[in-house]
């Protein structure tokens, strides 16, 4: 791969953002199919039939937004990219594209099926690990970063989120009755990250990004 320019980085970021936008749009397709199925269903009929799917669409949209914010935090402090970062970002994009599919499986299958739930949470874990790998590579390659951001990135948030998703995956597979509710572990990862940051940062030291 030839030496990259700021314009090439902008194209990579735009490509990644487009993938995220398409994935978020695909989430709503099952709802559109339900709305057009049958003889002129009323709004009440659509909501009654698709109530669970509506909640899954909202959950999926929130998950994608969270992953995009993490990706944005990584990319906004770069001046260029290299082949390893490009290919790990490609893995991240593939996992994002698969999220609408695994989300729809939860809506159309038994949510207590460990295979279905495991695939859904495993998909999220791959996305999280890809972002963590990108962050790790960036921290070890200062030449990719802006001069202002060098030495400010930390892996704590990504590591905590990956551990939370791993535990959620194990729980969902070993205790099928929990199902997707195992993802509630993600509700506390932010608090754990802040607590760890307070313990590891020295008083008076500049605050570092934790994502």
Name the more confident of 74 and 195.
74
CB atoms within 10 A of CB 85: 22
Whether the Cβ atoms of residue 92 and residue 130 lie closer than 8 Å to each other: yes
SS3 209: strand
CB atoms within 10 A of CB 74: 21
Residue of 46, 167, 59, 165 whose CA lies nearest to 106: 59
> Is residue 202 scored above 70 in pLDDT?
no
* Phi–psi pair at 145, nearest 5 degrees: -100, 160
Please state, in angstroms and rounded to a whole number, the distance separating the CA atoms of residues 103 and 110: 12
> Is residue 205 scored above 70 in pLDDT?
no
pLDDT in tens, 119-175: 999 999 999 999 999 999 999 999 898 888 777 777 888 888 999 999 999 999 999
CB atoms within 10 A of CB 128: 24
Average pLDDT, the chain: 82
Residue of 134, 127, 124 whose CA lies nearest to 86: 134
Please state, in angstroms and rounded to a whole number, the distance separating the CA atoms of residues 81 and 92: 15
pLDDT in tens, 30-79: 766 665 665 656 656 656 565 567 778 888 888 899 999 999 999 998 99
State the pLDDT at residue 207.
47
How is 73-132 classified by DSSP, letter by letter? HHHTTBS---HHHHHHHHHHHHHHHHHHHHHHHHHHS-TT-HHHHHHHHHHHHHHHHHHH
pTM metric for this prediction: 0.81
pLDDT in tens, 5-33: 667 999 999 999 999 999 999 988 776 66
């Amino acid at each position: 791969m030839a030496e990259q320019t700021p314009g090439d980085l902008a194209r990579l970021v735009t490509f990644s953002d487009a993938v995220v936008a398409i994935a978020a749009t695909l989430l709503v397709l099952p709802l559109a199919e339900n709305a057009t199925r049958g003889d002129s269903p009323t709004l009440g009929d659509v909501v009654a039939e698709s109530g669970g799917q509506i909640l899954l669409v909202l959950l999926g949209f929130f998950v994608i937004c969270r992953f995009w914010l993490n990706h944005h935090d990584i990319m906004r402090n770069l001046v260029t990219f290299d082949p390893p970062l490009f290919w790990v970002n490609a893995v991240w994009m593939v996992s994002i594209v698969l999220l609408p599919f695994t989300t729809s499986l939860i809506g159309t299958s038994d949510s207590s099926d460990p295979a279905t739930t495991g695939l859904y949470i495993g998909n999220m874990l791959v996305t999280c690990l890809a972002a963590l790998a990108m962050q790790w590579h960036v921290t070890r390659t200062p030449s990719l970063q802006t001069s202002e951001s060098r030495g400010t990135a930390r892996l704590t948030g990504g590591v905590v989120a990956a551990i939370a998703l791993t535990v959620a995956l194990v729980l969902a597979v070993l205790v099928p009755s929990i199902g997707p509710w195992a993802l509630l572990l993600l509700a506390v990862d932010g608090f754990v990250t802040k607590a760890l940051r307070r313990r590891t940062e020295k008083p008076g030291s500049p605050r570092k990004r934790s994502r």
